[in-house]
Amino acid sequence: MKIGYPCINRSVGCSSGRTFRLSSYSDERLEETVRENLRCLREILRFNRRECILFFRIASGLVPFASHPVCTAAWQDTFAGTFREVGRFVREHGMRISMHPDQFVVINAKDPGIVNRSVAELRYHAAVLDAMHLDGSAKVQIHVGGVYGDREASMERFASVYSLLDENILRRLVVENDDSRYTLADCLRIHEETGVPVLFDVFHHRVNPSGVGVAEAVEQSGATWRPEDGIPMIDYSTPMPGGRRGRHAESLDGADFERFLADTAPADMDIMLEIKDKEKSALVAVGIARRDGRFLLPAER
């Protein structure tokens, strides 16, 4: 079991997702930005290793505008050595990496232009992980997409587009249940059709349930992962007290997290904390998880 958090570390004093306006694009500007983003990413990973936080979601903005036609910079060649070094650090320290494109990546869209742009974005995400020479356990997670007034047809569109994706995307793609449109049961049906692994989001399941408890949901989603996919990944969070429906908590609810670990034992999983204070809650979660036999440091594996 590894514990992680997404994209931003508030302790290291830099961002690995810096960007700039599209109107000011130049190859030189892009390379300057990517160089700084990669420098910061290495700082974040070093921080995480020191604190035994061995799971991290890389910001999609690591290479700004990489999937846009305006991007003419050969960033994969220019930074090939740096990407390899990052990947080597990840492997040597028993870490795990993932990515999560934004909500505009919708492969079941009815508009072919949206689908084409979404696939281009997935190619970029897969290319980042390939550039790090990471194996198939480094995943890119997406949602099913829109319903468009016809859930069945929309799920079929997802399956149809999925079947046409490049192999380097397919080896990394996973689909997660969301908080309003597609339940875990829907995602499991899509898995039956396509073979795509299902990433279980605990909070989304509590907001948008599908008739099973969390422990059974962990078991069902975990069964969709093959050995080459690595240990199943889980997104975990709790609601913001008094906040709007679907809003994530600011800080880890330690008691709820302990119950979640107890309820899901002995299933192994890597847990991404989608909680607003990022590494602060991850540090608390690591302290709790140390008492769980599934949480092992690299030297203990």
- % residues pLDDT > 90 (the chain): 93
Closest CA to 251 of 260, 239, 263, 261: 239
d(CA 135, CA 7): 20
39 residue type, one letter: R
The DSSP bridge partners found for residue 139 are 98
Contact 168, 177 (CB under 8 A): no
Q: How far apart are CA 192 and CA 149, in angstroms?
A: 22
List pLDDT tens digits, range 19-66. Answer: 999 999 999 999 999 999 999 999 999 999 999 999 999 999 999 999
Report percent pLDDT > 70 for the chain: 96
Instruction: Yes or no: say if 14 and 43 are a contact pair by the CB < 8 Å rule.
Output: yes
Q: Measured between alpha carbons, how far is 188 from 212 in angstroms, rounded to an integer?
A: 13
Cβ atoms < 10 Å from Cβ of 113:
8
Q: So what's the pLDDT on residue 278?
A: 96
Res 67 pLDDT > 90: yes
Contact 264, 172 (CB under 8 A): no
pLDDT at 249: 76
What angle is formed at CA 135 by the lines to CA 132 and CA 141, rounded to 5 degrees?
A: 90
- Each residue's pLDDT tens digit, 209-252: 999 999 999 999 999 999 999 999 999 998 767 666 667 778 99
DSSP notation for 19-88: ---GGG--HHHHHHHHHHHHHHHHHHHHHHHHTT--EEEEPGGGSTTTTSTT----HHHHTHHHHHHHHH
Full-model pTM: 0.94
**Which two structure tokens, joined as six digits, stand for 123?**
């190619």
Say which residue, 247 or 175, is predicted with more confidence: 175
Distance of alpha carbon 155 from alpha carbon 189, whole angstroms? 9
Cβ proximity of 238 and 256 under 8 Å: yes
Tens of pLDDT, residue by residue over 95-112, are: 999 999 998 999 999 999
Is the per-residue pLDDT at 299 higher than 60?
Answer: no
Query: In the chain, which ranges are continuous DSSP H helix?
Result: 27-50, 75-78, 80-92, 112-131, 151-162, 167-170, 184-194, 202-207, 214-222, 254-264, 279-289
